[in-house]
Chain A
Amino acid sequence: MLARLIPVSLALVLLQVALRFKDDGDLARRLRARDASAMRELYDRYGRLVYSLIMRMVRNSAAAEDLVQETFLRVWNRMQAFDQERGALGPWVLTVARNRAIDYLRSTDARMSAGLLELDRLEHPAHFCDFEDRALSLDRARRLKNAFEKLTPNQKTVVELAYYEGLSQTEMAERMQQPLGTVKTWVRSALKVLREQLTEAATV
């Protein structure tokens, strides 16, 4: 299931992502100055990724367009709270996009387990400061791809459900009809594998 997330031309995509994230400082400064051309550049840089992520989650093109619009509007309106010197624009935009999609999925499923206020708090721009440059490096992304391939099918499923469907561990257990303890083990072991691969890359 998760293998579908990995594009065939992985190297090119990862390179694009890494380069995007790296040059975001100047873009953030211009966005804070309400520079219209910066907003166009932000969309050109992240629009496709945001749309792809949201489409992957909601699987509805009309809803995805609405949510992409909401994502960029929210970023534009909250730029003044973003630290242009220390902030990581890309991760923040992706988090805002994911939260819009999760919000949509929960509203259509009548699921309110995590609550909208919690998502709103977690995507505050202040949380996206002081990322290490190498945190989003090409090498780390490549290692993550390799790490995905090492996960068991159950581990891949719980990562999928957490990142792209926004299910809590309790909800995953219900969905997969497995004991909560078992699901927690899969989640933690999967995230540990991914994290260690990325940490290892960051310390090389």
Chain B
Amino acid sequence: MTCEDLRDSYELYTLGLLDGEEKREIDEHLGRNCAVCQKHYKDALGVNAVILSQTQQVVPPSRLRRRVMASVGIERAGWGWVAALAAACALIVAMWLSLEKRIADRELTEARRALQQTLADRDRLEQAFSFLNQPETRQVNFGQGQPAPPRGNFFLNPRMGVLLIASNLPALPTGRAYEMWVIPKGGTPRPAGLFRSGPQGTAMHILQGAVDPNVTLAVTVEPESGSPAPTSDILFTAGF
């Protein structure tokens, strides 16, 4: 075939779509560095490029640019996402650690409060045992035989003071407390300390310091700030 015979085949040849005798002919012409066929070859590439470049354009996703750059080693693929993810994870960990610390601090505070309460209870029990172990301590009970009684005992030690152990105490109204009174013979009641009952209606109260051995002891319900003199009926009383 002549160069002109092959003229119509160069576009297909450059697209890789020619086979058989025509392809072999073009290979031979190009192999001889035939100037006419070289020009036909370049023209065909130009025609192909113009045709291919007229494709209706669509917008590629933005991530594709990052991906392409990453594939040639220019940018790290998804680096921004990794950094954002790492920052989010760090924030979550920091928040979790902060929450854990707050929980631990609260538990520690509660444990310290419980320990202080336990130590205070232990001290009061030691005081109570000390009262009870003294030979000069005298005991007077109250409430015996009453139908709805607060019941219990006053222990009086002239040198150490008074120990009160009571049960069946009525529930206190809000803002009120029990107040113990020491009433000398022929005298007026003197405040002897505020106390509250436990959940089961029990209470233990200690008045420390020397006490006249011939006194009457009483308990009333007073404002929780205490009163200089009884303001309500006596809840229970006992005399020594």
Q: Is the CB of B71 within 8 A of A90?
A: no
- 10 A–B pairs (Cβ distance < 8 Å), ordered by A: A10-B54, A48-B59, A51-B60, A52-B57, A55-B58, A69-B68, A95-B45, A98-B15, A136-B46, A191-B8
Q: Does A144 contact B (CB under 8 A)?
A: yes
Chain A interface, DSSP helix/strand/loop, else mixed: helix
Q: By the criterion CB–CB under 8 Å, are B47 and A198 in contact?
A: yes
Q: Are A163 and B51 in contact (CB under 8 A)?
A: yes
How near does chain A come to B6, taking the closest CB pair, in angstroms? 11
Number of interface residues of B (CB under 8 A): 39
B214 at the interface (CB under 8 A from A): no
Judge whether A29 is part of the interface by a CB distance below 8 angstroms: no
Contact A169/B12 with A43-B69, A195-B43 known, Cβ cut-off 8 Å: yes
Q: Within 8 Å of chain A (Cβ to Cβ): is B52?
A: yes
**Given contact pairs A56-B55, A141-B54, A94 touches B49 in the complex (Cβ within 8 A):** yes
Count A-B contacts at CB 8 Å. 167
Instruction: Decide if A95 touches B19 in the complex (CB within 8 Å).
Output: no
Chain A residues lying within 8 Å of B54, measured Cβ to Cβ, are 5-7, 10, 13-14, 17, 141, 144-145
Assuming the A-B contacts A7-B56, A53-B55, A118-B16, are A198 and B8 also in contact, with contact meaning beta carbons closer than 8 angstroms in the complex?
A: no
A52 touches B50 (CB 8 A): no
Query: A99 contacts which chain B residues (CB < 8 A)?
Result: 16
Seen from chain B, the residues whose Cβ lies within 8 Å of a Cβ on chain A are 8-9, 11-12, 14-19, 41-61, 64-65, 67-69, 71-72, 74
Judge whether B57 and A43 touch: CB under 8 Å.
Answer: no
What residue in chain A is nearest B52 (Cβ atoms)?
Answer: A94
Given contacts A7-B57, A47-B60, contact A40 B69 (CB under 8 A): yes
* A28 at the B interface (CB under 8 A): no
A36 at the interface (CB under 8 A from B): yes
**Inside 8 A of A191's CB, which chain B residues have their CB?**
8, 11-12, 47
Inter-chain pairs besides A56-B55, A68-B68, A113-B19, 4 sampled, C-beta below 8 Å: A49-B55, A88-B49, A114-B19, A194-B47
Q: Please report the C-alpha to C-alpha distance between residue A5 and residue B54 in the assembled complex, in whole angstroms.
A: 6
- Report A102 CB to chain B, min CB distance, Å: 7
Residues of chain B within 8 A (CB-CB) of A162 are: 11-12, 15, 17
Q: Does A154 contact B (CB under 8 A)?
A: no
Complex Cα spacing A73 to B71, Å: 7
CA distance A13 to B43 in the complex (A): 22
> Which residue of chain B has its CB nearest to the CB of A130?
B42
Across the A-B interface, give the 9 residue pairs with the lowest CB-CB distance, nearest first.
A91-B49, A51-B60, A135-B46, A188-B8, A114-B16, A52-B57, A36-B74, A76-B72, A17-B53
Chain B nearest CB, measured from A81 CB (Å)? 16
